Structure 1
């Protein structure tokens, strides 16, 4: 499985779990409709793997769980460099999982988004390993059934691998012609017509999907688009894939022919399996490599030809679909098909049985005596044929036309009015589940089956669909959830997650949602995008160094930053002025709002009173002053007569001066 960047949820119950005592689960790297994929460590073999886990509740469906388990057994049979390897399968306390190869890189969908339309040579180079993987599967009797760009992984080193054989089935007499649980498996944009109509699939369904992928590589768009999946499926059944040259005019004709061959709506006109298509791709790649602009012979070989259907084939029970397929079903019938595709609802196209035509018998001369007998039987047979034709025509008229009426139009009517109109027309009515509508008000009819103007038996039943009004959903309350939980909550409301905006928060733990944009309670259309504002945790605040600064300025500055400044003590300091910071704790780094920084503040130098030393012997005065912390300077001036007594001091006795100051003594 491909490894994409994903922000792990700190509260994801799967992250950190040890499955079966072996697989240590990491962050989730992908999420699908039926399962999620996590990066994990195989602690037994010390390697990184991808672990695919069925979504909670899926395992309650025993048939689905069994199919999930069969994925490992089927895919593990494939050993091919272009197939994602499946290592293990197991169940741990209700959690069913697969361990498979982890492929760091991106998907073919990313390549299409960035590089398509691309040259035919490059498109075929990308498709070739995909077909090689499918060919190996087809040789093993497996059908992928979900070939699409998202399931084609491109590793960082350029290797191409096909992933998710979880929907593959072993081709057998029991499974070849059935859908699974009545539900169509596969992505609608790549479904072969026979999968849509009857739920049956063989290797040619994978060939069809590969042809659609080739079309997308060449043009950058899908061949059939629609507002709903059923509209897309309808087009796959009723419309051919258009030639890619309609959008990219310079493509060689044999490239168009290759796409047409692979995507033929008639399975019998497609390559029998991926290995046959791979051979045809090699022929086209060779022509491209030699710069051949047009090769009529190659084009003719690849162009699908409508096969003639003999009368004997129909007698043998074979039926087929001709060029009249676009008129077979309307969209309502297609909806019913999509809902009930299964063994008991397999649908095939009716084939018209042509009347036998042959050359008239030429009578031989030697049989002339028999002519009168034939001439007598001729009128009788003619009359009998006419009678049968008239009876058959009357019966056909009755069964095919006379007993039918026209379905009245009730779209837009309220329920009571619609029932009255249908009752007046002699028709019964029934109701299906109501549906949302952007244009029809609540309680009014948005759809009927059959549709207005369609033929219906005179006592038939019309199924009515009532409107629920516009489909709208309120943005749920997301504050306090983890990012993953918030995304899940949006998906449950049919809203789309767009992007995450990170913001500091003093109250919300890191990784939790602070709010959404738009805000909770805002009413949105389904699929509307919602941004999440997620906490980065508390904002760190730089402390800084304040040594020597005035404590008043420091207190004011730190208060603005949200920190608490406290003075733990005051000390005399000969170097730092009074009120200045002598030391702080912490001395640097960062803190959070409300944290404290403690300071030792200077009281300035210590002041000491100068003692009276006048008339004292010089040595006695020096000892006394130095004991008090002063520095003594002795001056023998012009009045000095050699007595060695203090005549005066500067500063004078009684003054308060800083400890360590110099006192000058004048001697006599």
Structure 2
């Protein structure tokens, strides 16, 4: 029996808003349906947690985390999560957990490769670049995917590539990748697990890069680098076996592409690109170096092509009847996943009717005519009547007011939503929801997304904070760390921020770099040599060095004239601003007392005594100094005079 016909959810309206129309596929955790958002009158995809997991708290937590993880990412390469909730159809406690996502018409990259064979080198690089671009945004937002694989990459009918299934996502940094109780089932898909996820249970951005390396290998060759009978066997190979080069499977794959793949598949995470942005830059550099002949190299089994301008467009015309509707995030690793949904219930044209069927006559004809009439009414309703769909007009080049007028003239209801944009000027149109060309009910609502301009953020106050803490506060405030300079500071200890530019409190565009000036601590100052200078000269020289001359100490000196610096402390080395230099200043030679009783004594005796005390002696004879007797002494006896002074003797 057709799964859609037997599915009890088909026809139900979840939370009074989402009418379930048909099943798309079944995955590891949930079942995906095509549905109509009756409030906004547009088609969406609804992912419902499987009934056998409905009471599993771990499964429900992962289900909700998927919505929150994907909702953090506003990127055209990530499947958008629009809503999340629980439908209490059967009463409280028995609700149906669901996610609402954009509906992507197309199929998974896994199905493309399995059905059409490997891609050309150029096509493989372009698909991988689109995946890396989406993951780079996740890594910039501090989010890891942890389950990168071809089954989680959706290729739309319009050629767009989207990454889905963030159910295993975690914040960046070491994360615990738990295993099942039996140890036989790893969280994630064994063919794409990085060695560190298997051996140590940890993951970071480089683990996602490893998964991208497996994806690139698979789309180049048609199969992952490691396969086996059991997940544990495959995981063992990731840890211990060297991956083959793509060219060993598909001759002609350029050596530069081999190197790119093997760098991403390095056992040691430190030898891989640091994150998706790093690998994307390397991939673009490799692609730019390849010739058209090298880009066209392709393994056996497919005829897909890369359209002009570098946009990947896969030839899906030979796929399942009616086309496939792939929805993401997709758990579709098993049979009946989103990529297999397109041909469900299709009957090949010209198939033989069962034998033994009797003609029913007039009743059969009446029934047939009634069915034709019902079909006609239904066709009119959905093709030309109130239930018909049309496409959203392209009004992106118009001002919002003109765009609104054009949409209203086309019979649409118009809403306005404002968002920040780094590329679209303020009050200009960013786009529409649904996007131009997407299906929407006739007379439905189209939201005009209008730019608020670049988002402004306030510079946090980081003055007096340690440099590492200041840089963390800037990054948390969605700002960059600009040039970091160092200056001496008498007030702020070494390693702390003196000031920022722009200063705290200023509003600047988010991601703007903020320059920091960090203290080197107090500046050491060389002590000047002022020995021998006059006291005034010494004070001026010390003050010029931003030091302080201490209160001088007087000391006699027979060699340094009075008033000059005899010594200093410290004599050399360095001090800090405002520190003191102690000075010892000469007060001249020591004082010596002129002895008593020199008058009336013989001149030579007196001369010998005075010279013995360190005086110079000058003799003045009166009347020729006939008697040689000292008549007077100048300075006189009992006076204290500097050592070395001249004593004048008057002799008669």
Which has the higher relative contact order, 1 or 2, with Cα contacts under 8 A spaced 6 or more apart? 2
TM-score normalized with structure 1 length: 0.46
TM-score normalized with structure 2 length: 0.47
